[in-house]
Structure 1
Amino acid sequence: MEHDPRHRALLRLLELTHLARGDDVAGCVSTALAPLDLAATCYLVDQEQQQLHPLPVPGTTVAARPLAVDGTVAGRAYALVRAQPGEGHRRWLPLVDGTERLGVVELVPGPAADLDGLDDWAQTFTNLVGHLVAVKLPYGDTLHQTRRTRPMTVAAELLLGMLPPLTFTDDRLVLSCLLQPSYDVGGDGFDYALDGPYARFHVLDAMGRGLSAAVMAVTALAAIRSARRDGHGLVAMARAADEALREQFGRAGFATAVLADLDVDTGQLRYLNAGHPPPLLLRAGKAVRELGDGRRLPLGLDEGIPALGREQLEPGDRLLLYTDGVVEARDPDGDLFGTARLIDHAEQAAQAQLPAPETLRVLSRHLLAFQSAPTRDDATLLLLDWTPTPPRRAVPPSPTAGSLPS
Structure 2
Amino acid sequence: MSPSVNEPWPWRAAVADLLQRTRLAQPDELAGEVSAAAAPLGLAARIYLVDQEQRNLHPVPQPEVATPEPLAVNSTAAGRVFMTVQGVTEGSNVWLPLLDGSERLGVLHLAAGGAPVPPDESFQAGCDLFSQLVGHMVATKIPYGDALLKVKRTRRMSEASELLFRLLPPLTFVSRRMVVSAILEPCYEVGGDGFDYASDDSTLFFAIYDTAGHGLRAGLGTATVMSAVRSARRGGDDLVGLARAADRALAAYLPELRFTTAVLCELDVAGGRLRYVNCGHPRPLLLRGGKVVASLDDGRRLPLGLDDPGTEVGEEVLERGDRLLLYTDGVTETRERGEQFGIDALADLLERTTGDLPAPEALRRLCHAALSRYDGPPTDDATLMLVEWSHEAVRAMVPTA
Q: Specify the TM-score bucket, using the shorter chain as the normaliser.
A: over 0.9
Deviation at 1:305, TM superposition (A): 3.5
Aligned residue number for residue 71 of structure 1 = 75
2:369 corresponds to 1:366 = yes
5 Å matches for 1:30-41? Answer: 30-41=35-46
Query: Could you tell me how far apart the structure 2 residues matched to 1:270 and 1:364 are?
Result: 26
Aligned residue number for residue 383 of structure 1 = 386
Letter in 1 for 2:263: V
Report sequence identity in percent.
51
Any idea what SS the aligned residue of 1:371 has? coil
Which of 149, 155, 164 is the matching residue for 1:150?
155
Query: Could you tell me how far apart the structure 2 residues matched to 1:45 and 1:373 are?
Result: 24
Deviation at 1:120, TM superposition (A): 2.4
5 Å matches for 1:288-307? Answer: 288-307=293-312
Structure 1 moving runs of 4+ over 3 Å: 111-114
Which of 204, 208, 211 is the matching residue for 1:206?
211
5 Å matches for 1:181-192? Answer: 181-192=186-197
Aligned residue number for residue 345 of structure 2 = 341
Any idea what SS the aligned residue of 2:254 has? helix
Q: Which runs of 5+ in 1 are unaligned?
A: 400-406
Aligned residue number for residue 4 of structure 2 = none
CA offsets per residue over residues 164-211 of structure 1, 9 Å max, x none? 100000111110010111100000001110000000001010000001
CA offsets per residue over residues 360-397 of structure 1, 9 Å max, x none? 11011112210153321000111001113461112212
Q: Conserved in 1, the CA contact under 8 Å of 2:212 and 2:257?
A: no
Q: Conserved in 1, the CA contact under 8 Å of 2:205 and 2:265?
A: yes
CA offsets per residue over residues 45-81 of structure 1, 9 Å max, x none? 0111111100011x22433111111111111111111
Query: Could you tell me how far apart the structure 1 residues matched to 2:329 and 2:368 are?
Result: 17
Deviation at 1:113, TM superposition (A): 7.7
Length-normalised TM-score, structure 1: 0.94
Query: Could you tell me how far apart the structure 2 residues matched to 1:77 and 1:114 are?
Result: 17
2:99 corresponds to 1:96 = yes
Q: Which runs of 5+ in 2 are unaligned?
A: 1-6
Aligned residue number for residue 278 of structure 1 = 283
Query: Could you tell me how far apart the structure 1 residues matched to 2:257 and 2:15 are?
Result: 55
Length-normalised TM-score, structure 2: 0.95
CA offsets per residue over residues 3-62 of structure 1, 9 Å max, x none? 7111111111111111111111111111111111011111000111111100011x2243
Which of 321, 330, 339 is the matching residue for 2:326?
321
Query: Could you tell me how far apart the structure 2 residues matched to 1:357 and 1:320 are?
Result: 12
Query: Could you tell me how far apart the structure 2 residues matched to 1:294 and 1:174 are?
Result: 23
2:55 corresponds to 1:55 = no
Letter in 1 for 2:67: A
Any idea what SS the aligned residue of 1:391 has? helix
Q: Conserved in 2, the CA contact under 8 Å of 1:259 and 1:273?
A: yes
Higher alpha-carbon deviation: 251-260 or 308-317: 251-260
Query: Could you tell me how far apart the structure 2 residues matched to 1:375 and 1:153 are?
Result: 15
Any idea what SS the aligned residue of 1:10 has? helix
5 Å matches for 1:150-229? Answer: 150-229=155-234
Query: Could you tell me how far apart the structure 2 residues matched to 1:349 and 1:173 are?
Result: 21
